[in-house]
Amino acid sequence: MNAFVTGGSGFIGRRLIARLVEDGVEVHALARSERAATAVRQAGAVALRGDLTDGPGLLEALAGMDVVFHLAAETDVLAPAEQHRRVTVDGTRAIVEAARAAGVPRFVHCGTEAALLAGAPLVDANEDAPLRPDSPAAYSASKAVAEQIVRDANAPDFATVVIRPRFVWGPDSSLIGAFAAAAEAGQLPWISGGHHLSDVTHVDNAVEGLILGWRRGLPGEAYFITDQERVDLRDFVSLLLELAGAPVPVLEIDGPTADATVPVPIRWFLGQPCTLRTDKAVRELGYAPVTTHQAGIAALRARGGQPAGTSASSSAGAM
């Protein structure tokens, strides 16, 4: 079996490549830079230097692939809207078109619950909740448009599946790396106390969801993937920051102050609950978490406070 991965040098991508190789799959990964190429080679993939706009080269690289895993996206939530459109929307459209033209039979897209956010919290939400391409947050809007492109492309000879993990954590988490940098700069306040109920997803569980999406996902469908262990957001983020050797913030602000000073979607992520149902993934994919919180936290403790990973554009990072 042959798989092609975009965003393979990112946090989720590296773990996905390693898992695919472990399962006996030959993996090829797109790499925009030599640094990215080194990262995907170290994970076990064959590196293809280029980007999503390289039409002829991409078409040639996709020939003979059994599946494309599309993880590449703009993950800097504060980047300009044009950057989100160019990387996330245009990049998704390009890889979808290339995969269809190359005759790839399956396409798995790494989505996010952020594609459903436009201000109101998600509480016990399932996959019937609508995408929000009209979201005032460029990150959310672009991820919604990208997901719709993928789902609209589904056809009898081109099965597309979307996997939506929430708050992906684990060793070298890019999201915790971004939080650590903000905490060190004194720019990570707790909104309304920060004690909001939230679902989260260990990177191994996110990868499990992506693999199951390839092997069992119903064409044209989307699936939420979580640890199925809900957390108090402040307590959980504080623990992850502590384990990463980063300062734990103590600053608290109220809702109106956050509305005036904290940009979206950061305000939504830190200032409201987000709980998701995984019934559909359990029923249709046979999904079950492969890493528990106890095991994931123990692994982080064993690392001895090594610094968290840093966020990188054009690599997958699910909020």
Whether 106 maps to a domain, the answer reads: yes
Whether 298 maps to a domain, the answer reads: no
The pLDDT score that the predictor gives to residue 318 is 64
**CATH number, domain with residue 154:** 3.40.50.720
Whether 299 maps to a domain, the answer reads: no
Whether 73 maps to a domain, the answer reads: yes
The pLDDT score that the predictor gives to residue 151 is 98
pTM of the model: 0.95
pLDDT tens over the chain, length 319 residues: 999 999 999 999 999 999 999 999 999 999 999 999 999 999 999 999 999 888 788 999 999 999 999 999 999 999 999 999 999 999 999 999 999 999 999 999 999 999 999 999 999 999 999 999 999 999 999 999 999 999 999 999 999 999 999 999 999 898 898 898 888 888 899 999 999 999 999 999 999 999 999 999 999 999 999 999 999 999 999 999 999 999 999 999 999 999 999 998 899 999 999 999 999 999 999 999 999 999 999 999 998 755 455 433 344 556 6
- Burial tier of 298 (Cβ tally within 10 Å: 0-12, 13-18, 19+): exposed
Distance CA 182, CA 319 (A): 16
The pLDDT score that the predictor gives to residue 161 is 98
Distance CA 314, CA 87 (A): 7
The pLDDT score that the predictor gives to residue 310 is 42
Whether 129 maps to a domain, the answer reads: yes
Residues designated catalytic: 139
The pLDDT score that the predictor gives to residue 312 is 36
The pLDDT score that the predictor gives to residue 197 is 98
Side by side, which strands form the sheet with 2-6? 46-49, 26-31, 2-6, 67-70, 106-110, 159-165, 222-225
Domain of 111 in residue numbering reads as: 2-170+201-228+276-290
Number of domains composing the chain: 1
The pLDDT score that the predictor gives to residue 313 is 37
Whether 217 maps to a domain, the answer reads: yes
Q: What is the largest CA-CA distance in the chain?
A: 54
